[in-house]
Chain A
Amino acid sequence: MTRFSGMAVLKNALNGHKGWREQWPDSEPKKEYDVIIVGAGAHGLGAAYYLAQEHGITDVAVIDKGWLGGGNTGRNTTIIRSNYLYDESARMYDHALDLWEGLSQELNYNVMFSRRGVMMLAHNVHDVQSFQRHVHSNRLNGVDNRWLTPEEAKRFCPPLNISRDARYPVMGAALQMRAGTARHDAVAWGYARAAAARGVDIIQNCPVLAVRRGPDGAVEGVDTGKGFIRAKKVAISAAGHTSVVMQSADVRMPLESYPLQALVSEPVKPCFPCVVMSNAVHAYMSQSDKGELVIGSGTDQYVSYSQRGGLPLIEHTLAAICEVFPIFTRMRMLRKWGGIVDVTPDRSAIVGKTPVKGLYVNCGWGTGGFKATPGAAHTLAHTVARDEPHPINAPFTLERFTTGRLIDEAAAAAVAH
């Protein structure tokens, strides 16, 4: 692996960029691996990296039906925060946040983690109660989150409309200063490069058709577009398509897949310093380093695997943006796109073992998986390596939907991730 640094950039600038090498090879599958990870998003690639880096397991393949980072990793609005209500969630996302803070250096790849603060707006008494509960709970969990008055919120984000006459006036906001954004593609690429450097094979354009189980019920490997690949341990990290892959191993997942849309504006000079989320009016926004306003929309009302959503939802989202930030009405949408999110009944993820020996799963991150990337990857690697969950992902079991021990972030707060 060529080490990246300012000096390397300078050196290559002078020699016509002759010194750069491929960041990861496009591997062909071997017949057998110790571990196969299905899904080359940042979660799957990250898990491969941590397997190699922390557990010494390098005979690993990450397999994807398309190009790496092409699923939700490359389609989200890059928001990173950890101010979740429940202890289990707070620990998972705060663990991720700890890893985010050193990720560029750890991977030697600038993922542009930017602590610019995430502000969540309260628009009615119920929001206020709910967010204050978050602030109190976060404080006792050691998670950064504080309450702002409407005036303080406006000072933090000048384009905000705090008029009392607004249809949904801003009644306050919860601010996590440690939260922010990162460059989503770079996260996938950084993990891919670091994993490949440690011996991991990244196999793209190779659909996994089925998980194959042996006579004893344990995992034997996966059937793919490039033939059968043997492995005693298989981890599924396939976001919106997890339920389809798991079905092939006869495991029915409590997941529903929905299209979720996002969009960006044309780029403009810096005008929006932070991330703002307004759940009551369904608007999420930040400004990328390139200058585009990055805006998250909601999920369509119907389940679907089509990576495009309808027009009405985008209209509602932009109406909400114009309501909360009226100076942006003349800004133009440059492009919009969709991704498929996998949603569990309690809107929390499933990371851990399954009823099938040797089969592990990481899914159900819904609309909020990006922020969890290092945490999910790190704990999934631990689970696969040790065949038992890390204490942080231990509560995120599949069984909880049978026992009823839910981690119900959605119900608790009615806050989208």
Chain B
Amino acid sequence: MSTHRIAGKGRFDHGGPVRFTFDGKRYEGRRGDTIASALLAHGVHLMGRSFKYHRPRGPVCAGTEEPNALVETSRGKGRFEPNTRATAQELREGLEVRSQNRIGSLAFDLQAVNDLVHPLFSAGFYYKTFMWPRSFWDRVYEPVIRRAAGLGRAPDAPDPDRYAHRNLHTELLVIGAGPAGLAAALAAARAGAEVTLVDEHAEMGGALLSDPDVVIDGKPAWDWLAAALAELDRLGVRRLTRTTAIGYYHQNFVGLCQKLTDHLDEPPEGAPRERMWHVRAVRVILAQGALEKPLVFDGNDRPGVMLAGAAQTYLNRYGVLVGDTPAIVTSHDSAYHAAFDLADAGAKVAAIVDVRAAPGEGVLVEARRRGIEVLTSHTVTGTNGRLRVKSLRVAPVSGGRVGAARTIACDCVLMCGGWTPSLHLFSHTKGTLKWDEALDAFLPDRSAEECHIAGAGRGLWGYGAALADGAEIGVTAARALGLDAEAAAPVVERDRTGTGETFKELPTDGDAGRKRAFVDFQNDVTAKDIRLAVKEGMRSIEHVKRYTTNGMATDQGKMSNVNGLMIASDAVGKAPPQVGLTTFRPPYTPTTFGAFAGYHRGRHFEVTRRTPIDPWAEAHGAAFEPVSLWRRAWYFPKAGEDMDAAVARECAATRGSVGIFDASTLGKIEVQGPDAVEFMNRMYTNPWTKLGIGRARYGLLLGEDGYIRDDGVIGRLGEDLFHVTTTTGGAARVLNMMEDYIQTEWPDLKVWLTSTTEQWATVALNGPNARRVLEPLVEGQDLSAEAFPHMSVAECTVAGFPARLFRISFTGELGFEINVPARHGLALWEALMKEGERYDICPYGTETMHVLRAEKGFIIVGQDTDGTVTPDDAGLSWAIGKKKADFVGMRSLRRPDLVAEGRKQLVGLMTEDGDVKLDEGAQVVADPEQALPMKMIGHVTSSYYSAALGRHFAMALVEGGRDLEGRDVFVPTPEGIRRATVTTTAFYDPAGERLKV
């Protein structure tokens, strides 16, 4: 039964119960409730346990800044989550809520033993102990500490929900739909601006939702609010609720996280749970308002102690009275309004304890009228009550001395230490702050972005001021957008405003060193922790934060930063602006990983690129391997074959008759223009001037450092046209590198680059019967050895499709590569398969391709080279144009270390026993008997079984390798030492006879 729900109060319909459980006990709430408001309606304040001391805690706030009331929630398998703010999570039917960070029950947590020995756990205690014996830290102490630490439990099953992303360009983004944000959006939209208005709460209105008695333009606040929202809708303003601006990035780029389904009883099937908006706004108005500060006094953390503004919100917005006998402790007039509202709703206010000597006259009159006792110049020296506050001790302060204390019974304590503007988003932009002496608060100063701040966010208190400022700022923003606009500030009656003072921890009696006045509730940081940190030399506020963990809790310091600063600056002996605040970090409130990941999950984590021939490979049982973003057919196993058997068969079939290979993933770049030859000469090591039209050449690309970056066959199709191929993984990198040179080094060259990787499908046909398979399908080109010799290229027709036909070979066999427009790739493949039937044509995958090229000693860039290999190291000196004036990397090739003796060179390795395979990556040594660390002279880069050679063979980079030919080296492995002989890399058909057919 809801003992504390007040009839006639609250924003929402009091009908229709919503059922939920908390620690297994059933409760009913109302639609629109948060978990916290529903529990408070049942008189439940105890909702959590603190991080370190496991002290019992209740909600302090009524919003997302809550540090204490964190709970675990779940909605079936995979939808469990820890650390949810009970003050922000809306109720839904069947919601399961469980308290966290406890052993035993919430009311009796065994870990609360920490609280009994709390003097041991002072700031930074763990840096000073647990060092003996040396091996005990990560074996004994750390595991114990880790088990005690952490808040809720981690999820343990994959999340079935979806998350979305969306991009938005808008003229004006208004963040915060309280009075200032609403007035700003209205003013700008009336002037014709295209406006997006966002608010983190379930409904718009901000503080107006907690202050229904204010009268605006002659209307009760909530009537004005309804009319304002209706007008915004008529004006076409995009309004997003449950939407938090999490971060403010360069050039008015703002990330918004919108919660879509967590409040719904039954989310629509497949609906995304959250949506991350990427907003680029011409102008941004920050109207986030201000945060109420707690007061720092002994026992300010007991359940039942909360912010006065929160109690006011629970009453007016949710219809919940947080206690029957509230005591108010304040240093600001605003808490008086909370007291009045609670008193008017039937609470018996125990007292208003004001730290100040002279509260505002208006609120004093009102208090007197209601018969509420006001104690000015008083402090709180402690509270009582284990699971719920029962009383507080108050004492007069005079001339800095604390007088005799008396005890006031109460069932809740409502505190207010004044207000601090919400500076988070502004600070994300690296905007500077200034200290306002009168307000004792930091205010936004200079911005690095096109943004404006309106309302309480820049220290303006009260509805009249916020609405007027919002309207003014809205007009300013509209004018900045080039629109005519006039401000019209609403008239406010029965405004609620006031002033206050900012205090460090409140004066107290007895031994101050024994008092526990909390600053960061969640992390259990007390005022004396902060003073101890300063005493120990932590004089920077960043050091204080890191040493004490003040401000590092999940409220991101919203409750603790300013109080921590006031205490630290007092301890350091400097004014607050000289000490400064710690940096505000995104996100504004903790945001799910899922929202950031968005659509990029599972198969969509990154796109999978597939060639036009991929469906054929899949249908024919290919095994695939990922190669950069592509998936490529790895091998085509027949029934009962493993990879080794399939590859041996594919190799033999290709060398024996003909094999067919999908080479479509090779990077392809069209290099075109009057300076195409010059560009190619500068880019690649090879000479290109004399390469005839219709001829092709192996091209080698270096980095500035002289090391091999990429390679590929390049065909010349015209005076000013080259068909460049790159490695599969290097395609984008090479194009970027080329563009970089064209745009920054050689802007004078008339040459254009176009990526054509996906425009061409490429099929390689290799083997002694390759010509016989291909010839019947070709029109427009004589394929005879005389008319179309090795390293030729021609444009012709293959299987009826326009084609660029290369005669090249990556296998050492007679070979052709046929490029056709991608849409014809599959048809070409099928035509070749059909034509090849009589030659037992064999499709092969990347593994066979690797073996066949290795048998010829052809390198794979990135496997046989590693970014430290020169052309000479790889045995490719022949690919350098000796007479060329320059090319990328040429100068570096002359550096002392690149011409030094003893560089690693690519050689072959033959194990003593041909059945023994060397591991790729295994290290080569000259002396296998030496002790560790061994002197290593190289490593194995490629290693395969060769059907043609009938044995295993390998390539390796070995110091001075070419001089070691015929000598033995050793490869130590965990299984034993392998002896191998150094050979050349021409393992198969060294004379190249098989190409000359």
Give A contacts to B, CB under 8 Å. 4-6, 8-10, 12-14, 16-18, 20-26, 66-70, 74, 87, 90-91, 101-102, 104-105, 108-110, 112-116, 123-126, 129-137, 139-142, 167-169, 180, 183, 185-186, 189-190, 204, 265-272, 281, 287, 289-291, 306, 308, 310-311, 314-316, 318-323, 326-337, 345, 400, 402-406, 408, 410-413
Contacts and interface: CB of A to CB of B under 8 A. Distances in A.
Contacts of B138: 113-116, 180
A335 B585 contact: yes
A405 B79 contact: no
Given A133-B921, A308-B249, A329-B593, 6 more contacts: A126-B862, A167-B602, A189-B127, A310-B249, A315-B600, A330-B155
Contacts of A328: 154-155, 593
B592 interface: yes
A123 B593 contact: no
B11 interface: no
Contacts of A267: 51, 83, 149-151, 554
Nearest to A321: B593
B108 interface: no
A157 B939 CA distance: 30
6 contacts: A5-B128, A22-B536, A113-B137, A140-B936, A326-B159, A333-B596
Contact of B537 (A24, A315, A321): A24
Contact of A167 (B594, B603, B921, B922): B603
B126 A320 contact: no
Contacts of B537: 22-26
| The 7 A-B residue pairs with the shortest CB-CB distance in the complex, in nearest-first order | A411-B867, A291-B150, A133-B921, A22-B537, A16-B513, A67-B540, A332-B590
Contacts of A334: 554, 556, 590
Contacts of B586: 335-336
B546 interface: yes
B126 A112 contact: yes
Contact of B152 (A4, A90, A115, A268): A268
Interface stretch (B190-198, B263-271, B894-902): B894-902
Interface in B945-980: 972-974
Which among A180, A289, A403 has the highest number of chain B CB atoms within 10 Å? A289
A331 B514 CA distance: 37
Contacts of A70: 540, 542
Contact of B921 (A5, A136, A268): A136
Nearest to A322: B597
A112 B528 CA distance: 25
B750 interface: no
Contacts of B535: 20-22
Contact of A268 (B154, B539, B604, B868): B154
Contacts of B276: 315
B711 to A, nearest CB: 16
Interface stretch (B140-148, B216-224, B363-371): B140-148
B129 A308 contact: no
B638 interface: no
Contacts of A110: 126-131, 137
A331 B592 CA distance: 5
B428 interface: yes
A134 to B, nearest CB: 7
B866 interface: yes
Which among A123, A132, A404 has the highest number of chain B CB atoms within 10 Å? A404
Contact of B933 (A23, A141, A271): A141
B627 interface: yes
Contacts of A204: 540
Contacts of B13: none
Which among B126, B127, B130, B138 has the highest number of chain A CB atoms within 10 Å? B127
Nearest to B592: A332
Given A167-B608, A332-B590, A308 B428 contact: yes
Interface stretch (B117-125, B174-182, B232-240): B117-125
B125 A9 contact: yes
B157 interface: yes
A290 B602 contact: no
Which among A109, A267, A315, A328 has the highest number of chain B CB atoms within 10 Å? A267
Interface in B575-622: 583, 585-587, 590-594, 596-598, 600-606, 608
Measured as residues with beta carbon below 8 angstroms from the partner, the interface class of chain B is 35 or more
Given A315-B597, A315-B598, A330-B155, A402 B895 contact: yes
A70 B868 CA distance: 35
B153 interface: yes
A189 to B, nearest CB: 7
B142 A114 contact: yes
A404 B896 contact: yes
B593 A330 contact: yes
Which among A14, A68, A327 has the highest number of chain B CB atoms within 10 Å? A327
A411 B868 contact: yes
B401 to A, nearest CB: 21
A303 B146 CA distance: 38
A280 B598 CA distance: 20
A316 B276 CA distance: 13
B120 A142 contact: no
B866 A411 contact: yes
A87 B921 contact: no
A66 B541 CA distance: 11
Nearest to A139: B974
Contacts of B230: none
A20 B535 CA distance: 8
Given A137-B939, A311-B253, A330-B592, A337 B151 contact: no
Contact of B600 (A20, A102, A319, A326): A319
Contact of B972 (A116, A140, A268, A336): A140
A337 B597 CA distance: 18
B823 interface: no
B79 to A, nearest CB: 7
B884 interface: no
A141 B934 contact: yes
B867 A266 contact: no
B486 interface: no
Contacts of B120: 9-10, 13
Contact of A289 (B149, B159, B556): B149
Contacts of B837: none
Contacts of B127: 4, 109-110, 183, 186, 189-190
Nearest to A130: B921
Interface in B772-801: none
Nearest to B84: A332
Contact of A104 (B137, B147, B158, B536): B137
B115 to A, nearest CB: 13
Nearest to A310: B249
Contacts of A318: 593, 596-597
Contacts of A331: 81, 154-155, 592-593
Contacts of B213: none
B54 to A, nearest CB: 13
Contacts of B585: 335-337
B539 A26 contact: yes
Contact of A123 (B129, B250, B603, B626): B626
Nearest to A304: B250
Interface in B220-275: 247, 249-250, 253, 255
B131 A137 contact: no
Contacts of B117: 13
A289 B145 contact: yes
Contacts of A8: 128-129
A271 B597 contact: no
Which among B132, B255, B923 has the highest number of chain A CB atoms within 10 Å? B923
Contact of B249 (A311, A319, A329, A403): A311
B342 interface: no
Interface in B156-179: 156-159, 161, 163, 165
B386 interface: no
A381 B181 CA distance: 57
A411 to B, nearest CB: 2
